[in-house]
Structures are given as C-alpha cells and as structure tokens.
Structure 1
C-alpha cells in the first residue's frame, strides 16, 4: 500500500469517520502540506514542496480511482466530473513541480479545500 493510502487508512482509524469525512480529512491534510511546503520557495528549497505535491498526487489518484470504479454507485456524470478534476489536479501538480509559483500552489490548495468542504456538506 502506498503512502497516501496508509495516511488515508490511519486517518479513517483514528476516529469513527464516514468515508466522506475521511476523504475530506485527507484532502485537508494534503492542502496543509502544500501550504507549509510553499514557504520553502523563498529560499529555493523545492524538496518539501515536491514531497507535498507527490502526496497530493497520490491522494487524487486514489480519490479518482475509487470514484470512477465500476462498482461505485455514483451517477456516471459525477464519476466523469471527478475523473476530469483528478486529471486537472494531477497535471497541475506536475506543472507546479516543473515551475513552482505561489499562484499554482494556491490553486491546488483551493481545490482541495473546496472539495473537502463539499464532502463535509459545507459547499463554497
């Protein structure tokens, strides 16, 4: 099992959570890691940022894979939307690794926080 899946499993075991709550918690954790790692940009140390971006990629890979699985009962249009958003996030993670900017990081953080809020029932 990879690092993101382990983190997901630990989060879901730490307190009784629904799957939606666990997904939200992992997205928030990834967003927090991105924010924390972004402070290294000023010094030129991109290693923490690349680690946070890799974690975010793993989280989104798992979310998109689970959401689009054939046995998932979500409607097809919702599955497609999650898949499209996952692809967008993965591309933006790679782009941010190549050319990091505060704006790119902020966009990824905003996406994670918005989806986490929606999963918690607090849209926008």
Structure 2
C-alpha cells in the first residue's frame, strides 16, 4: 500500500512542477477515489473503500508531518489549521473504516475538504 502511494506521488511529481500544484493534484486524486467509492456504494467492495481511504490518510499524514517540522516555512496559524484538519480526517477515516454502513454520506465531508484545500492551493 505505502509503495502505491509513493509511486502515485512520484508520477504526479513528474507531471507537475510546482509543489502546490502537485499537492493540489494529489488531493484531487484522493477526492476522486473517495467519490468513486461513494458513487458505487451499492455495488462497491469494502476493499475499494479501504484503498481510497488509505491513500487519503497517507497523503494527509505526509501533509501533517511536513507542517509540524520546525523548518516549515508556513505561518504558525496555517500549520496549526492543517494539522487540525489532518487529525479530523484521520479520525473520520478510522470511524468510517470501523463502521462503514452509514459511511456513504460521511465520505462527502472528506471529498469536500480535499477539493476545497486543492482549490486553495491552486489559488482559485
């Protein structure tokens, strides 16, 4: 699993030069994967849910790790906001994996957050 996430990150890195654009593209990819699971909720599998949420969780873990480093160039408030969002996403992901039955609607929150952050990174 980790290998797949790293490979996806490297492939996206090659296609996109700017780090903010890269991060935006990865967030959009994660959002699309979660949205696909939601759209196919009735016919999808638990494994597809797990794969989509794992990719998103790994991505947010990387973001959180990056903003909590001493040498992060971001202002403290932004770093704190990203860390808080990341914690929310990790907790929500855990809850969805533990109790997937009502998760279809809960996936919307993860998709919306990823898309909003991606849009912000693009400056749109």
- The alignment's TM-score, normalised by the length of structure 2, stands at 0.89
Comparing 69-78 with 110-119, greater Cα deviation is found at 69-78
**CA distance in 2: counterparts of 1:119 and 1:44, whole angstroms:** 31
The structure, 1 or 2, with the larger RCO (C-alpha pairs under 8 Å, 6+ apart) is: 2
Q: Distance in 2 between matches of 1:25 and 1:121?
A: 13
Gaps of 5+ in 2: none
Query: Residue 83 of structure 2 aligns to a residue in which SS?
Result: helix
1:120 equivalent among 115, 118, 122? 122
Q: How many residues align?
A: 121
> Would the aligned equivalents of 2:37 and 2:44 in 1 still touch at CA under 8 Å?
no
The answer for the alignment partner of 1:73 in structure 2 is: 73
Q: Does 1:9 pair with 2:10?
A: yes
Q: For the residues of structure 1 that align with 2:68 and 2:78, how far apart are their CA atoms? A: 9
Post-superposition offset of 1:105: 0.6
* Structure 1: segments with no counterpart, 5+ residues: none
**d(CA) in 2 for partners of 1:115, 1:4:** 19
TM-score (norm 1): 0.89
Residue 58 of structure 1 corresponds to 58
CA distance in 1, matches of 2:3, 2:77: 28
**Superposition pairs of residues 32-111 of structure 1, within 5 angstroms:** 32-43=32-43, 45-100=45-100, 101-111=103-113
CA RMSD, Structure 1 to Structure 2 (Å): 1.6
- Distance in 1, matches of 2:56 and 2:14, equals 20
